[in-house]
Structure 1
Amino acid sequence: MQGRLISTDPRQQRFFVATTLTFSPRDTSNTELIKVFPRHTLQRIDGFGGSFTEAAGFVFNSMSAGCKKQFLDDYFSPQKQNYSLGRMPVQSCDFSLSNYAGVESDADLQRGNLSFVRDRANLIPLICAATEVNPQLALMASPWSPPGFMKTNNQMNGGGKLRREYYQAWAEVIVQYLLEYHRHGIRVTSLSIQNEPVAVKNWESCLYSVEEETAFAVKYLRPMLMRYGMEEMEIYIWDHDKDGLIEWAEAAFASHDNDAGIDGLAFHWYTGDHFSQLQYLAQCLPDKKLLFSEGCVPMEHGSGSQLRHWHTYLHDMIGNFRAGCTGFIDWNLLLDSQGGPNHQGNLCEAPVQYDQAHDELRYNLSWYAIGHFSRYVRPGARVMLSSCFDSQLEEVGFVNPDGERVLVVYNPEPREKSCRIMEGEKEYRLTLPGQGVATLTWYPQGE
């Protein structure tokens, strides 16, 4: 069997170095093995992507034509990152230029005066440009807050709850938002009910109990979607950190009505690994998707911080996919060199950042970490069973729809480590530098 080995050594600044790999007959010893079992597959993978925020669109609009083309090709072409998923806020979020809503007052709501001028200025042009590169791009929409007048605290920021008397109106606003994007040829295939529904933030936020979130989803939003011919729209709940997944899921799916109306749970990484919760839910709720919908790292400087961020991405992605994750959506696709703009000063790093002074794009280590998955694992792939001799090596494998095997192996240790990749009676000997990662792709013998 032959295939490709794509390796990255971040300490030596060697990225996506491709060589040919050739499997040999297996050695008789059973040491240093990573074994893969392609006939034993687990969850289906929907794809990989990032988030279209107003900040990303604003920075994109400021770039030269050459940088715009480079950005779009690098993210969305099948020869590069091959992004197939995206997420965007319904109305404003912290990575917007300011608060804004589709409807700003009860009087405008009664008159049907909805405005999507901010979407048309900074979001829709970027998303349309991305879909020209990848027409199959599938998008998820997520609210950070309803309009302030619909909430108990009368503002978009600082938590508060959606008033019961506005459940129907808020569902209508969300559907009108979807219709606006559809008019521009943009394919939105899924929704989450609320970003981080138990977090009070200085920026746009809104609180729901699990009973409130599921009631809004199943009794108001789902019927509204069906009324407008959007029966296939997927609905996700939670959209928050992994540590709260099990309690939310158990309460949500105690009702059969909720089970029929909700397609999955979305989650973030900000409170740590909690891979066992994903694994448990994947076993207990095999018909529900578990989508990673947001993760980012702080805006820091220096090689040490970059290596920490490198580890965060690789460790979390490998752990999530091993545990049952069905797709990966990073946070901002693009920011400026300071990690913004952000109307609350809540700056962070993006995989790609634009240096306006030099009219150039800067690629952070997170870009390469994601690329070791997104460039080689196709939508429709399945996670394959794999086992490793050493807990200090991290690995996860996939089988693409055409039968191609993909294995990502990461060495988080500072020293070099070796292993033997084995499928059946064939093996390949791999040596990884400290903090290095490799993606191996190959077809079974005879294909």
Structure 2
Amino acid sequence: MSMPLSTPVTRKRMLRSTHVFSHRQLSPSGIPSAGLTFTTADDCVRLWGDVSYACVCNATYCDDITPAELESLPSGQFRHYTSDIRHYRLWRTTEDFKAEANNETSTAYFTLDLSKLYQEILGFGGAMTDSAALNIANLSAPAQELLLRSFFSSEGQEFSFIRTPMAASDFSVRHYVYDDVAGDVTLQNFSLVAEDLQFKIPYLKRAQELSPGKIKIFTAPWNVPDWIKVKRGTTLGPISEEFYQVWADYFVRFFEAYSEEGVDFWGLTPENEPQFLNRGGWTPETMAPWVVNYLKPALDKAGFGHLKLMICDDQRTNVPNWSENVSEDKTEGRRNFGGSRRAPITMWINEQMRNISSGLAVHFYMDSVNNTDILDRVHQDFPEKFILYTEACNGTGKPVVIGSWDRGEGYSSDIIQVLTHWGSGWVDWNLALNPDGGPNIEGIFVDAQVIVNSTSDEFYKQPIFYHLAHFAKFVPSGSRRADLTTEDGKGVEGVAFLTQDGVAVIVLLNRSDSNLTVVITDKEQRNVEVLVEKRTIHTILYNN
């Protein structure tokens, strides 16, 4: 295992027209086997799966993303980035506005109004879990650098968010907390561990160095020290009330310890998935008074009162239980809302809790079985709160599927859906995993944007990496969603934005097996006409 790199590595590029490389195909066991070949195309060395491919990177080469260079773009033109199932990854072209929109029946028409703006976009990102950090560390130092650049630099996605767990999560190689000494109510034995000091923290610092902007780091605990639980020796909580202050102080010690190492946080949630995988045994009725009476005062006193506090951190189907605006005297005749029962007392019914929290954290796993009315209702009832998606991954059936275009499309479709229903950002789960989809201490393996093959000192950028890049690369923090409407999009999904620099950004997704022409007309009568072929995603940019 290589240690995290300490100095930048000079980047070398392969000549795309002159190289053929020996191909390492992943076997079902995750062990590379020889025998096939691949060639470079569009700056990507292809590792083919069943229907599409991942891009191979190693210690000397990794594909990058051609910058938009909008400052040199004439007023009558737009940039157009395309990725598809068979050929391209963020292929950039420059095209002209059309004088008139065509009137063919096979064309999907959209209207863009850049004067009608909605929620602010906070950004996009992924999680630096123990497993992600350990997989990155299994690469050579030059390969580590290229991997981190792919996520955070101006050559890559330019992620603006990182989520990192407070102590162990399921994506760790062991269970641990920062103070397991029973009765240590002053937390004298609190200390970070090797996973923090040798792996996560160095990578978090390097990511910030590479980023052209400020990366927002947030955290949540997955477990609590056994000795502060009501029933010791159990997997789940709840936390004994006599240790409520200790648990609040534990958060403070964590933020202090990371700050001493040069890593500062943007936000937190009090617990990851408190209704399912929780280790604290929280309900909305018990968490709200703990946050109001213990956690927030402790953070304020220690100088961390500025941190953004988010609630829920769970699936969309559970959002009403944590945010629904229902008063205590309306419990009779409770109705189902989006497949979830509305709780009679929830986090934001507590006025103090509402005042000290900034937003709602949501996971994407059950989005396919509940509707977006849940998000609309949150915005309607609490317009001052942002909605941030904080975790997503695939893995049902087969954890890692090399070159899965379906999974990339699923991500993009969900992102478009979330952003058009008041979401302010979208954060993926593990940044990098091994060919088995781990390590995971619970044996729950999943896919990731990047799969690390330490045997050959390579990593594979999955289609979901490029799907996320179509948003993250071109929609910077501070952008606003713009009004994009259609009477008949013919199955094309879309969302639009206006950046702080006055750049119009439009993302289109065609999941169908039909080739279509799309025309987007804005209020200035500029007509963007693009061919949106089957199974493609597009990002269009122009100066407003």
With normalisation by structure 2, the TM-score equals 0.78
What letter corresponds to residue 286 of structure 1 in structure 2? P
Seen in structure 2, the aligned counterparts of structure 1 residues 301 and 76 have a Cα distance that, compared at 3 Å, is closer
Q: 2:250 aligns with which of 173, 180, 200?
A: 173
Aligned to 2:489: 390
**1:110 CA drift (Å):** 4.2
**1:111 CA drift (Å):** 5.8
**1:32 CA drift (Å):** 2.5
Determine the C-alpha separation between the residues in 1 that align with 2:399 and 2:133: 22
1:403 matched to 2:502: yes
**1:247 CA drift (Å):** 3.0
**1:41 CA drift (Å):** 0.7
Q: Deviations over 1:270-305 (max 9, x none)?
A: 1124322112212221110111000000154557x8
Task: In structure 2, list runs of 5 or more residues that go unmatched.
Answer: 1-75, 325-345
Q: 1:5 aligns with which of 80, 84, 92?
A: 80
Report the 3-state secondary structure (helix = DSSP H, G, I; strand = E; otherwise coil) of the residue aligned with 2:367. Answer: coil
1:237 matched to 2:311: yes
Determine the C-alpha separation between the residues in 2 that align with 1:107 and 1:246: 37
Q: 2:302 aligns with which of 213, 218, 228?
A: 228
Q: 1:316 aligns with which of 399, 414, 417?
A: 414
Determine the C-alpha separation between the residues in 2 that align with 1:277 and 1:290: 11
Aligned to 2:522: 423
Determine the C-alpha separation between the residues in 2 that align with 1:385 and 1:169: 47
Contact 1:55 1:97 in 2 (8 A): yes
Aligned to 2:459: 361
Task: In structure 1, list runs of 5 or more residues that go unmatched.
Answer: none
1:142 matched to 2:220: yes
What letter corresponds to residue 138 of structure 1 in structure 2? K
Determine the C-alpha separation between the residues in 2 that align with 1:38 and 1:216: 43
Report the 3-state secondary structure (helix = DSSP H, G, I; strand = E; otherwise coil) of the residue aligned with 1:370. Answer: helix
Q: 2:361 aligns with which of 263, 266, 272?
A: 266
Determine the C-alpha separation between the residues in 1 that align with 2:400 and 2:271: 32
Q: 2:539 aligns with which of 418, 439, 444?
A: 439
What letter corresponds to residue 143 of structure 2 in structure 1? C
Contact 2:186 2:246 in 1 (8 A): no
What letter corresponds to residue 265 of structure 1 in structure 2? L
Tell which deviates more after alignment, 123-132 or 42-51.
123-132
What letter corresponds to residue 68 of structure 1 in structure 2? Q
* Root mean square deviation of aligned Cα: 1.8
Q: 2:376 aligns with which of 267, 279, 291?
A: 279
Aligned to 1:130: 207
**1:237 CA drift (Å):** 0.7
Report the 3-state secondary structure (helix = DSSP H, G, I; strand = E; otherwise coil) of the residue aligned with 1:253. Answer: helix
Contact 1:89 1:144 in 2 (8 A): yes
Determine the C-alpha separation between the residues in 2 that align with 1:102 and 1:94: 16
Report the 3-state secondary structure (helix = DSSP H, G, I; strand = E; otherwise coil) of the residue aligned with 1:277. Answer: helix
Q: 1:57 aligns with which of 108, 121, 133?
A: 133
| 1:149-160 mapped onto 2 (5 Å cutoff) | 149-155=227-233, 158-160=235-237
Q: 1:21 aligns with which of 92, 95, 101?
A: 95
Q: Deviations over 1:91-129 (max 9, x none)?
A: 110001111001102234446111202321331122122
Contact 1:196 1:205 in 2 (8 A): no
What letter corresponds to residue 162 of structure 1 in structure 2? I
Report the 3-state secondary structure (helix = DSSP H, G, I; strand = E; otherwise coil) of the residue aligned with 1:225. Answer: helix
Contact 1:79 1:375 in 2 (8 A): no
Determine the C-alpha separation between the residues in 2 that align with 1:205 and 1:81: 33
Seen in structure 2, the aligned counterparts of structure 1 residues 72 and 277 have a Cα distance that, compared at 3 Å, is same
**1:403 CA drift (Å):** 0.8
1:252 matched to 2:328: no
1:107 matched to 2:183: yes
What letter corresponds to residue 266 of structure 1 in structure 2? A
Contact 2:187 2:250 in 1 (8 A): no
Q: Deviations over 1:35-88 (max 9, x none)?
A: 111111111111111001011111122210111110111110023100111101
Give 1 or 2: higher helix fraction: 1
Aligned to 2:38: none
Aligned to 2:341: none
What letter corresponds to residue 275 of structure 1 in structure 2? T
Contact 2:101 2:529 in 1 (8 A): no
Seen in structure 2, the aligned counterparts of structure 1 residues 3 and 253 have a Cα distance that, compared at 3 Å, is same
Q: 1:192 aligns with which of 246, 269, 279?
A: 269
Determine the C-alpha separation between the residues in 1 that align with 2:187 and 2:259: 22
Contact 1:218 1:262 in 2 (8 A): no
Q: Determine which structure has more spread, i.e. the larger CA radius of gyration.
A: 2
Aligned to 1:372: 470
Report the 3-state secondary structure (helix = DSSP H, G, I; strand = E; otherwise coil) of the residue aligned with 1:14. Answer: coil
Determine the C-alpha separation between the residues in 2 that align with 1:248 and 1:428: 42
